[in-house]
Amino acid sequence: MEKKSVPSLVKDQQLIRKRREQIIKGAVRLFIEKGFHRTTTREIAKESGFSIGTLYEYIGTKEDVLYLVCDSIYDEVTERLKKQLHTTGPAIDRLEAAIRAYFLVIDSMQDEVLVMYQETKSLPKETLPYVLKKETEMVAMMEEIVADCQKEAVFTLTDKESKLFTHNLLVAGQMWTFRRWALRRDFTLEEYITLQIKNLIKNR
């Protein structure tokens, strides 16, 4: 599944990137407040600092905006996670570092992550597989480190147990966003990360 080409009447690629970043930021604020379906393109244009005519120079439909939001968030989460992953040392240390890096990224992009998981279902059928593939790639990054832990006999898991373990790691990070209204009354981010690492890894 290839990346979708979102239509633009503008040819300057640098300007396209700049304007679409503005569109994404404006759309995220609105999608959190009102949801995708209740948000209009005119509202997105206003929140982004554009006229409705200018908005349509950079997108074709409102669904294009949601696609750009999801695609950019996955790209940024993946890239920022990659930069923070340790590639040398014991596998268990690299796994702990990866979990910490992932949780920190989720915390810094909590609004975007919330929109991504709440509104992915609203993507058109032709673009949904591409976005879901990005999620699979993120899972694969963690699976690789978990596999190294298996090789070093840190864990003894079946293939299915290993896959479920990896998904649990990712969901634990996402929970910091989805249940922030409750969790942040009782935990700092550091306390949450430390306890999750203990529950997920050290208690095994």
Tokens 């596999």, residue located: 147
CB 103: neighbour CB atoms within 10 A? Answer: 22
Could you tell me the pTM of the whole model? 0.82
| Dist CA 79 CA 77 (whole Å) | 6
Chain Cα centroid distance, residue 69: 10
Q: What is the pLDDT of residues 130-156, one digit of tens each?
A: 888 888 888 888 888 888 888 988 888
Average pLDDT value for residue range 20-27 = 92
- pLDDT at 127 exceeding the cut of 90: no
- Inter-CA distances, 29 with 12, 35, 182, Å: 26, 9, 21
- pLDDT at 179 exceeding the cut of 70: yes
Amino acid letter for position 13: Q
Q: What is the pLDDT of residues 54-101, one digit of tens each?
A: 999 999 999 899 888 888 888 888 887 777 676 788 889 888 988 998
Half-sphere exposure of 175 (CA within 13 A, CB side): 12
Nearest to 65 by CA among 25, 38, 32, 33: 25
Give the confidence band of 203 by pLDDT, cuts at 50, 70, 90. Answer: low
Could you tell me where the DSSP H helices lie in 11-90?
A: 13-34, 41-48, 52-55, 62-84
